[in-house]
Structure 1
């Protein structure tokens, strides 16, 4: 196993690879967060996006009859 190379301060922390054997291929600036603007759109979900996804996969409970 090769030694891990951590990203430079201010560099995007987008990782690729397996656990314990990964790299930080993105060299873009993290712009005040953990990820660059492009990778932030992949990682983070806005509340509006979350609500839209939840309404598409809304759980409908199955009514069961209990034996008495």
Structure 2
């Protein structure tokens, strides 16, 4: 069993360790996470509206095709 100090150290280490993007994530989310990891977050912030727009375009395209 771990002491309280060891648990805190292990939790802190796990929280600060770099995490590779999960290959099971949607491509746009994976791209946003990669941008956030490589930059100060501004590009990821700007990428979010683009991701939403792409998602809405896909939904509109798919709903238009299902109505035909």
Could you state the TM-score of these two structures normalised by the residue count of structure 1?
0.30
TM-score, structure 2 normalization? 0.30
Higher helix proportion: 2
Q: Could you say which structure has the larger radius of gyration?
A: 1
Give the number of the structure whose residues are more often strand, by fraction: 1
